[in-house]
Structure 1
Amino acid sequence: MTSISAPRSLTFALAQLNPVMGDISGNLEKARAARAEARRAGADLLVLTELFICGYTPEDLVLKPAVQRDCRKAIEALAADTADGGPGVLIGTPWVADGKLHNAAALLDGGRVAGLRFKVDLPNYSVFDEKRVFVPGPMPGPIDFRGVPLGVPICEDIWGPDVVECLAETGAELLVVPNGSPYRWTAFDERMQAAVARVVESGLPLIYLNTVGGQDELVFDGASFAINADRTLALQMPAFREAFTLVTAIKGEDGWTVTPGEVIPLPDIMEANWRACVLGLRDYVDKNRFPGVVLGLSGGIDSAVVAAMAVDAFGPERVRCLMLPYRYTSMDSLEDAAKCAAALNVQYDVVEIVDPVEGFLKALGPMFEGTKSDTTEENLQSRARGVILMAVSNKFGSMVLTTGNKSEMSVGYCTLYGDMNGGFNPIKDLYKMEVYALARWRNDHQPEGLKGPGGEVIPERIITKAPTAELRENQTDQDSLPPYPVLDAILKGLVEEERTVAELVASGLDEATVKRIEHLLYIAEYKRRQAAPGVKITTKNFGRDRRYPITNRFRDRG
């Protein structure tokens, strides 16, 4: 009997694509197009990302029997395509086996589903709730693909040693890892550390393929790569955009080696954060089929940065900015907003809010008689602006962008049904000083592939002047808050690092200020629950990451 020897080389087509949540037929067509490209290129196996056929992360959508049914039909249709003798396909999909729903990787070849592997380590922390919807799979062995035993750990399966150890012990010769790993500013380094650790432990080369695109608050940055057994980087794909590349592995006396391919430098932290905000904004608007966006352009730093991100995402023709002045709006703000709009070349309208605000005050006059003017009257200005922006949105279909930064959202320095009105906030997870830093960075850089202009798109005075809400005469943010560098240091300690008040005070921060900010942080939870979604940047964003009760009397006074 003649034995069939394993091939000495294997060419993978890595498709770092942007699936659309729930668009099963559309994602199937993306997979088919990628396979056609892989066939033209002479690849043996097309690799697609985690849960590609439905999108990641599907949350409770994947519990619907109709979704499970349609995903299976799509996978079986794609499997039938492989009867043509072209490349096989490794693709992520939900899969029901023995009545249990799994996060699966399906190997399609020879016209059939030739193998299945189920995710073992289901993440249930931070933004992940996979144990809510999936059942973990058994410890896996390799999948045979045309004589080559491939280890297919799925995303979280490589963040600990057990799954890869099991694969290596049961004969896997190459590791191919489909992922849905969302961006955070530490992601590039953390992923590489996890992958290198598994390579060192197993002695096997590893191909890491990550999805790309925005899904609600999450942004997936791609940045796929391959590492050889000697820990050398064989391939680095780009971050924050779709890409397709071939990589060939060759088997020698010492096992498999991935031949060196293109190594595209990853962006630094400033560019990565900017691109994440732009990509998350673009996909939220486009995938939900809005024709464009509208926002209030106040002459301040936050709205200017959001406007610049919007133009980078959509081009100026899909961005509309409104200046909504009242009696406290300074001439500087009027000039700065107009200059910013001109630099970005967006449609720019000025709508006075004197009449709406005075109308509210007149209607409330009898009830408010004998009381002193306070934040109630100030908030009427913000809410009048919110009503006008929503009216423009309703009339023309564009989505309203909100522009509050994380520092303000943390302490409730924002107005419900006013400046919090809107559908999405690209800077929601950026602290105030990070917004300033990104403004300066964007003025000095025109990111490749984005649609905005180069040069100074955010006027210098917007960056240098004292921030103010301009809701009363001579108001600045520092009337109500500590200086932003101090505020941000306290908030990062309380939110990202979960440090105690005593630890922050020991680091040199004022005790009374820290306690006040902690109190404001807790009592603003009800506002954050009603805030628009926004791009996750940090290790602990408000929303999916940090889930605190609204009713909460705890204060750290130990």
Structure 2
Amino acid sequence: MKISIVQLNPIIGDIANNAQKIREKAELAVKKGAKLLITPELSLCGYPPRDLLLQQSFIDDMGYQLQQLAQEIPPEIHVLVGTVTFNTLAHEQGKKPLYNSVALINNGKIHQIYHKRLLPTYDVFEEDRYFSAGNEVNFFTLDGVKIGITICEDLWNDEQFWGKKSYAVNPIQDLVNEGVDLIVNLSASPYIVGKQKLREELLKHIVTKYQIPIIYVNQVGGNDDLIFDGFSCGLNKKGDVIARCFPYEEDLIYLNLDQNNRDLSSNYIHNLFDREEEEMYQALVLGVKDYAQKCGFSKAILGLSGGIDSALVATIAVSALGKDNVFGVLMPSPYSSDHSIIDAENLVKNLGIKSEIIPIQEGMNSFDLMLNPLFKNTEFGIAEENLQSRIRGTLLMAIANKFGYLLLSTGNKSEMAVGYCTLYGDMNGGLAVIGDVPKTKVFNICKWLNKNGEIIPNNILIKPPSAELKPNQKDEDSLPPYDILDDILERYINQHQSVDNIEKSGHNLKLIKKVIKLVDRAEFKRKQAPPVLKMTDRAFGTGWKMPIAYKNR
């Protein structure tokens, strides 16, 4: 039996066009002789639909499009479609009114509806806000093959693999008990660095444990702050990955299920990335590309300081949108060094983008004049430094508004973590591209970009980082060296380590407390930041739910 998996990049809410994609892929699969087509989780509406699920018309539209899709796909093929269905017993059960479901359609009919059994409520997931959990074991038989259905999280509760049990039930074990021949998983699993290796380790563990092959189908594309990397795959009974889709793009591949030995084979396989830097860079490119296109932007603008952060964001933007669609603005102040302007101009030349130089001295003078009655007899300080950033932010927003550009903010995770950024200044923008990329990794990615020739001017890579808001300023005047800072931040933010544990790792106690205080005090800034493309399991985005007003322990 030939089985096709389609890795889709849906637009959330564009139900008719998402259905059209599924229809077109089903027609292609039939031409290749496929009997079954598997789509990702919630493929009909896109994941995550969030509070669109509170609109009844949204659910009704999915029901209508699903019926239409069932009637229009070729009768030779069965299709598993991710959708949302009503829980008709919700009121009497005291449960949520919807299910996260999979529909089996064929020959004009919806043959069966299956419901997701495990509903994640951690990090970016809030599924119990909308959905009831299914309580039935999900499977069907096709051409004598018993196929078990799971939806994303249903796969992730193997107590032996994790060393703990997160849910009372294990849908995989239940399917094994039913004697299924094949397990399929329809997923919308967001990207974090290195996650595909973890997914495949889990899949291999399950396959070798139960001697049942698995097909895993993941969504691809950027939706707001989340990036879905795809990497849909199939594993045979030995636990070998025998099929893997392309990352970061739509794909349609085929697997063969031998109906005698109930095992999978295929020759459609794409390799994993050799370098973390390439994996992260390509994810960021996809995030920018889809955020811009799905929000209706074709061009982007950003400020170019001559520093490494704006250099990386500009390079990502060019890869995502094309050099003719990226506009860089240099806004030197009296404190900007000559080499910073030269470095920014060299970057513009290397990337081939359009640019403009707008000195901000005049704006600074105007603000000094207006504020002089209040600020006279005071020392130059943070307020005056931040005014420079806010002048730049205002200029960028004005240009973005005038010409319909998407403004990309260029701050990295290290800066956002400790508040080394200016609200209504360099934090302005529609998307924080590298807001989940620590400074040390920014350097690593830029060095990787230069592996085959200079893209990022070399001087940007070797000069000490500086905001250049006062004479001879360096980041290390206010912050510890970035390798030390990033390790403390990783331990505190991502690993949730205590002060004592961070100190035991070799860091200075006084410095640890200073960094943590900066992180906690900067929460009000992060709440007002643009969406941050998620790269790690602890990004300053949808999954970050810290209070602003609280007393630090």
**Residues 1:262 and 2:268 aligned together:** yes
Q: TM-score if structure 2 supplies the norm length?
A: 0.95
1:501 Cα shift? Answer: 1.0
Q: Are 2:525 and 1:527 equivalent residues in the alignment?
A: yes
Deviates most, 215-224 or 197-206: 197-206
Contact 1:234 1:260 in 2 (8 A): yes
> For residue 346 of structure 1, what is the aligned residue in structure 2?
353
Aligned to 2:121: 124
- Pick the aligned partner of 2:464 from 449, 463, 466: 466
Secondary structure in 2 matching 1:238: coil
Q: 2:429 aligns with which of 422, 430, 454?
A: 422
The CA deviation at 1:33 is: 1.2
RMSD between aligned alpha carbons?
A: 1.2
Q: Residues of 1 paired with 2:388 and 2:265: CA distance?
A: 62
Shift of 1:478: 0.6
The answer on 1:23 being equivalent to 2:14 is: yes
Equivalence map 1:83-162=2 (5 Å):
84-99=74-89, 100-161=97-158, 162=170
Structure 1 residue identity aligned to 2:205: A
| Structure 2 Cα separation of the partners of residues 231 and 421 of structure 1 | 48
Contact 2:12 / 2:49 at 8 angstroms: preserved in 1? yes
Matched, 1:206 2:211: no
Q: Secondary structure at the match of 2:417?
A: helix
What is the CA–CA distance in structure 2 between the aligned matches of 1:30 and 1:110, rounded to whole Å?
Answer: 18
1:219 matched to 2:235? The reply is: no
Q: 2:63, 2:196 → 1: CA distance?
A: 33
**CA–CA separation in structure 1 for the residues paired with 2:298 and 2:433:** 17
1:452 — aligned with what? none
Alignment coverage as a number of residue pairs? 534
Q: How big is the shift at 1:20?
A: 0.5
Deviates more, 1:259-268 or 1:511-520: 259-268
From 378, 400, 411, the equivalent of 1:404 is 411
Q: Does 1:175 align with 2:183?
A: yes
Q: Which amino acid aligns with 1:109?
A: N
Match of 1:303 in 2: 310
More moved, 215-224 vs 85-94: 85-94
1:476 Cα deviation from its structure 2 partner? 0.6
- Say whether the 8 Å CA contact 2:304–2:310 is kept in structure 1: yes
Partner of 2:194: 186
Asked if structure 2 preserves the Cα contact closer than 8 Å seen for 1:155 and 1:181, the reply is yes
Q: Which letter does structure 2 place at the counterpart of 1:105?
A: V
TM-score by length of 1: 0.94
CA distance, structure 2, for counterparts of residue 129 and residue 408 of structure 1: 28
1:210-289 equivalences under 5 Å are: 210-252=218-260, 255-267=261-273, 268-289=275-296
Preserved contact between residue 138 and residue 150 of structure 2 (Cα < 8 Å): no
2:27 corresponds to: 36
SS, match of residue 393 in structure 2: helix
Q: Which runs of 5+ in 1 are unaligned?
A: 1-9, 446-454
Aligned counterparts of 1:294 and 1:554: Cα–Cα separation in 2: 38
Most deviating of 190-199 and 132-141: 190-199
> Which residue of the other structure, out of 536, 542, 545, is the alignment partner of 2:543?
545
Take 1:153 and 1:486, find their aligned partners in 2: how far apart are those partners?
43
Separation (CA, whole Å) in 1 of partners of 2:370 and 2:217: 60
Letter in 2 for 1:262: Y
Match of 2:505 among 491, 504, 507: 507
Alignment pair present for 1:69 and 2:66:
no
Which residue is equivalent to 2:377?
Answer: 370
Structure 2 CA distance, aligned partners of 1:141 and 1:151?
6
SS at match of 2:243: strand
- 1:115 deviates by 1.3
Q: Name the structure 1 match of 2:341.
A: 334
Between 377-386 and 58-67, the greater mean CA deviation after superposition:
58-67
Distance 2:233 2:468 in 1: 48
User: Partners of 1:545 and 1:196 in 2: how far apart?
Assistant: 28
Deviation per residue, 1:480-510 (Å, 9 max, x gap): 0011111111111100111111111111111
The superposition leaves residues 131-150 of structure 1 with CA deviations (integer Å, 9 ceiling, x where unpaired) of 11111001314123344321
Distance 1:146 1:116, change over 3 A: farther
Rounded Cα–Cα distance in structure 2 between residues aligned with 1:373 and 1:97: 63
CA distance in 2, matches of 1:443, 1:114: 54
- Contact kept? 1:405, 1:427, Cα under 8 Å: yes
Contact 2:99–2:131 under 8 Å retained in 1:
yes
DSSP 3-state at the match of 1:401: strand
**Separation in 1, partners of 2:136, 2:171:** 6
Tell me which residue corresponds to 1:294. 301
Q: Which deviations, in whole Å up to 9, do the C-alpha atoms of 1:226-245 show, x marking residues without a partner?
A: 11122122112221111111
Identical aligned residues as a percent: 38
**CA–CA distance in structure 2, aligned partners of residues 145 and 424 of structure 1:** 46
Amino acid at match of 1:374: G
Corresponding residue number in structure 2 for 1:14: 5
Distance in 2, matches of 1:346 and 1:433, equals 26
Deviation digits for residues 439-460 of structure 1 (CA, Å, limit 9, x no counterpart): 0011115xxxxxxxxx311100
Which residue identity does 1:366 align to in structure 2?
A: P
Structure 1 CA distance, aligned partners of 2:143 and 2:82? 20
Moved over 4 A (4+): none
Q: Aligned partners of 1:542 and 1:128: how far apart in 2?
A: 14
1:318-338 Cα shifts (integer Å, max 9, x gaps): 100000011011100010000
- Between 1:298-307 and 1:545-554, the stretch displaced more is 545-554
Aligned partners of 1:433 and 1:141: how far apart in 2? 46
> 2:321 and 2:81 mapped to 1: Cα distance?
31
